[in-house]
Chain A
């Protein structure tokens, strides 16, 4: 099982699930997949009901004070948990890497931000690196390719973990994506502030996906997945796009992005 942290044989860790605003708004099944996986990994998964947004849109737009306000809210809601798990590298990165920047001048909240950062994990790296989890008895007979979202890759080091999880899905053929680590052009508000440039970037990404001949595109960040799925669909592609967590949780047979009536 690789380098697994010793799991104490006491009560299952209490995980606070930060679902992310995009999952909440557009694709709830990612949140339910996360809960299912956390429970399979012997954790109790709770969803603080007053959660909203991690503040990244404000932070990346330069509205640092507004982002700091949201950061304090998230910290207060989630610090009671043993772990905070996020099915997104970019929101996970916001909490783990950037809350300390947003609260750099706040002597009261900065240490609390650091404490929260220390126990915040992106979902797939939590499952693999902390819980030593692998799916068992999960089947999906299709071919898939994987896009590495930039924040997850560069801020949180997520690369091997999704692949380790997907490798254990029976029948799933993983095909490598050329330029898998090249940005898809989403960039949060970038894609709507500079749509023509974003389109050019995602156009190349869509071509790379098509070139794999995979039936399915997977990834760990819904923003990127929506961007790529939206472009693929506009181009008439039949590639089906899901969040990797759905596949690992055994929900890969469900409707892909854009397939819900």
Chain B
């Protein structure tokens, strides 16, 4: 649920007043920042790899039609079935149909943000099919009835006590204690039986390999393989920007992905899935279905933000974002939070509904600096602001304010007169050298003092000095 009834302002204020959330954010995103920094320092070829990664992604984007067809051709040849979905509804419909044809009562899922994006959990619920999330964090938020707050650590907002209480209530038998190790053991126990009794396993894909029609999943838990190997049917839902030309290209991007996401060099389980099980294989699914999802990606290609198709979903941008680090993920009210979410959400949900996201940003540029594929995030965010302005979505007061300021600035004589009066007016509110409150400045003075302006503007003083013909400007 995206708490659409609340505004971004309300959600962010609620987040800011939650001290537990701040602790949780520092523990995950803060740690990820430090670990990434160490991992990058250890990888002297990182800058060169980053540039190559960008070029690989741009090459695929520039040839997306070719790679889509190549992937489909090779996937079909491997024995997979391939489907194309324009919209999130269509993607869910296809996945549910496959489940129904397979007579599925229970579906296991490994973590997939794309699955969240298209609303697959809800679709399964409406179809009356039991959904079992297997990624530990997804399992936690499933039990809590919540949505992910980070694309790599979906349950980062939960404390150990939160999880202990959840597991005590919902696990049978309950965990032995509230220690993290016992909580994990309990989840392992609970989910082991589900893995082995599931009818269908649904995964996402970190990469789609065009020249083999395979997909690549990366996890640290091993739940992707436990999800996709025991059941008779494996369904993949993947955004088609995940395409790469070959496994070697995937390796280049994997070197960027893991370091940027968690600071590791490689995840414990990096698995390529190509077609259903082969004749004679000891295990594996009989049926393999790949749903290629558009859901706005062709729009991004045509109208921008095109560079966003490079995104490999590492989460580095949000880990380093001063805004995310204060408000966490749920405040964004979207599948994807942080800088990448603020660029993607207007595509998925429409700009009118989500204009706060690209605006709630200082444009400081740290996100772009850490993006492993050099996405110009501040530029793309400003691009949404430009579109918002052109579409008349900006609040009237803002339009008037900026318009008024720009008008004055284009009329220097008026402007300089205006500044002289503004300074006089502001100084009326000063106590000593500070202004603690002032009309129209509530946004600033609610939390900060405003330094009282000097008696004259620079231009006033400069002109006065010049007319005195003095060289001494001290």
* Residues of A in contact with B (beta carbons under 8 Å apart): 19, 21, 23-29, 31-32, 35-36, 39, 47, 49-53, 55, 57-64, 66-67, 69-70, 73, 101, 150-151, 154-155, 181-183, 185-188, 190-202, 226-227, 229-231, 233-234, 250-251, 255, 257-261
Contacts and interface: CB of A to CB of B under 8 A. Distances in A.
Interface string B366-390: 1011000000000100101111111
A26 B446 contact: no
Interface stretch (B127-135, B271-279, B452-460): B452-460
B412 A50 contact: yes
Interface stretch (B106-114, B245-253, B399-407): B399-407
B410 A60 contact: no
Given A28-B461, A52-B409, A230 B382 contact: no
B454 A197 contact: no
Contacts of A63: 389, 399, 402-403, 406
Interface stretch (B151-159, B196-204, B321-329): B321-329
B449 A258 contact: yes
A43 B457 CA distance: 24
Given A27-B454, A150-B362, A150-B365, A53 B382 contact: no
A24 B461 CA distance: 9
Contacts of A59: 382
Interface in B441-474: 441-444, 446-459, 461-463, 471, 473-474
Nearest to A54: B409
B405 A58 contact: yes
Contacts of A182: 322, 366
B473 A32 contact: yes
Contacts of A19: 458-459
Contacts of A62: 382, 384-390, 394
Contacts of A190: 359-363
Q: Which of B368, B385, B398, B449 has the most CB of A within 10 A?
A: B449
Contact of A194 (B360, B423, B474): B360
A75 to B, nearest CB: 13
B410 A70 contact: yes
B433 A255 contact: yes
Q: Which of B323, B363, B441, B447 has the most CB of A within 10 A?
A: B447
B40 interface: no
Nearest to B360: A194
Contacts of B362: 150, 183, 185-188, 190, 198, 201
Contacts of A57: 402, 405
Interface of B: 9, 12-13, 16, 322-323, 326-327, 359-366, 368-369, 379, 382, 384-390, 394, 398-399, 402-403, 405-406, 408-410, 412-413, 415-416, 419, 422-423, 432-434, 436, 441-444, 446-459, 461-463, 471, 473-474
A69 B412 contact: no
A29 B415 contact: no
B141 to A, nearest CB: 24
Given A24-B419, A251-B474, 19 more contacts: A25-B457, A28-B457, A52-B410, A52-B412, A57-B405, A58-B405, A60-B385, A63-B403, A150-B364, A150-B366, A183-B362, A193-B398, A197-B327, A202-B447, A233-B448, A250-B474, A257-B451, A260-B454, A260-B455
12 contacts: A24-B458, A35-B473, A61-B394, A63-B402, A63-B406, A194-B360, A196-B13, A200-B16, A233-B434, A255-B433, A258-B452, A260-B452
B369 A26 contact: no
Q: Secondary structure at chain B's binding surface: helix, strand, loop or mixed?
A: helix
A194 B388 contact: no
Contacts of B474: 32, 36, 250-251
Nearest to A73: B410
Nearest to B356: A194
A197 B364 contact: no
B406 A191 contact: no
Contacts of B410: 52, 69-70, 73
Given A52-B412, A63-B406, A187-B363, A197 B451 contact: no
A85 to B, nearest CB: 14
Contacts of A230: 434, 444, 448-451
A61 B459 contact: no
A61 B398 CA distance: 9
Given A62-B386, A70-B409, A202 B444 contact: no
Contacts of A150: 362-366
Contact of A261 (B327, B382, B433): B433
Contacts of A260: 433, 451-452, 454-455
A154 B365 contact: yes
Nearest to A59: B382
B24 to A, nearest CB: 15
Contacts of B456: 28
The 7 closest A-B pairs by CB, nearest first: A187-B362, A62-B385, A230-B448, A192-B443, A62-B389, A28-B458, A150-B364
B409 A53 contact: yes
Nearest to B419: A25
B440 to A, nearest CB: 10
Contacts of B389: 61-64
A49 B406 contact: no
Given A197-B16, A231-B448, A191 B433 contact: no
A19 B410 CA distance: 16
Contact of A191 (B385, B390, B443, B454): B443
Contacts of A67: 406
B413 to A, nearest CB: 8
Contacts of A233: 434, 448-449
Contacts of B359: 190, 193-194
Contact of A31 (B369, B399, B453, B458): B458
